[in-house]
Amino acid sequence: MFGVIAVSLGVSFPTVVSVATAYFVCYGLSQPVWGVLADRFGRVHVLVASLTGAGVSGLVSALSPNEGFLLVSRSITGAFFGGVVPAVLTYVGDTTPSAERQHRFTQVLAAISLGGAASSLGAGVLADLELWRLAFAITGLAALVGAVLVRSIAEPERARGELSSLAGLWRVVTNKWFVVLFSLTLIEGGVLFGVLSFIAPAVEHAGGSASLAGAMVAVYGVGVIASTQLVGVLGNRRAPWELLVPLQATFALFHRAQLPARCVGKPRKFGNFLRFPPCERTPGLRPIHANVT
């Protein structure tokens, strides 16, 4: 989709990629804020607010006339969507007995991965049809529908704790084990999602269609669904560290990506494919080839 947006708006490929970067940065940075608001006002209220904001900003981004407008609207969309997953996970944690919590979490993560896989594949198809704006509009409408549906959900009793939101946050961040866990998660998230976010642009930049790029990202979602089901089965039989060690070792051995090192210029459209200016590639990596007509 990145290349199609670049052609439509008449900007360079890296410019469009920077929009995705802004989206993910705002998505991540907004989550602590949403967490404090959820403790103060309740999980369901925050979930409704974040879905409504994401829906409206998603629809607005579909009308973007230029790259500046797209950058701002997608950044706002990412900030609002940042409140959805934490609110859902904490709601599940508040309403599920501890013995069933691991299984419920795996179900939620599987649903998230399924949605991500479907949206990546669908967005790629829409991009090949030059309907990239429709992809933003569909996600915006889906968020608004979700906001309406979750309004009827009862607020969990444990949503409001005895400690204030800021006091509870301070108690967590001053815990040494939280610092260790947060640091490890930050590194893992940067490596995992940093690479994942650029798989689709790399495929498009090498001449592949947006559908192919979306399909490759969708395969990742399918893998997450399978692994979460496996973790759900083994979670009640093994300690958490016994699952983390082999999973992280497998990730370190097999997670590779072949990305162009530096590319400049604007892409040009040829039929249903895009052709990009030459790239300086990392030595030793064989680029992905695709037919460009």
C-alpha count within 13 angstroms, C-beta hemisphere, residue 265: 11
* pLDDT at residue number 159: 45
Q: Smallest Cα–Cα separation from 3: which of 213, 215, 290?
A: 213
- Answer yes or no: is pLDDT of 282 > 70: no
In this predicted model, what pLDDT tens digit does every residue of 89-113 receive, in sequence order? 888 888 888 778 777 887 887 788 7
- Answer yes or no: is pLDDT of 267 > 80: no
Give the orientation angle of helix 13-41 with respect to helix 84-95, to 10 degrees.
30
Fold of 2-153+171-259: Growth Hormone; Chain: A; (1.20.1250)
Q: Residue range 255-274: average pLDDT?
A: 46
- Answer yes or no: is pLDDT of 288 > 90: no
* pLDDT at residue number 177: 79
In this predicted model, what pLDDT tens digit does every residue of 170-188 receive, in sequence order? 777 777 877 887 787 777 7
Residues 6 or more apart whose Cβ sits within 8 Å of residue 43: 87, 90, 91, 94, 155, 156, 159
Distance CA 243, CA 52 (A): 37
Model confidence band, residue 138 (pLDDT cutoffs 50, 70, 90): very high
**For the chain, domain boundaries:** 2-153+171-259
| Structure tokens belonging to residue 228 | 């979460």
* pLDDT at residue number 261: 41
In this predicted model, what pLDDT tens digit does every residue of 20-38 receive, in sequence order? 889 988 998 898 888 888 8
Q: State the Cα torsion 182-109-194-173 to the nearest 10°.
A: -10
Continuous H helices in 82-161: 84-95, 98-128, 132-150
* pLDDT at residue number 203: 73
Q: Smallest Cα–Cα separation from 53: which of 75, 25, 28, 29?
A: 75
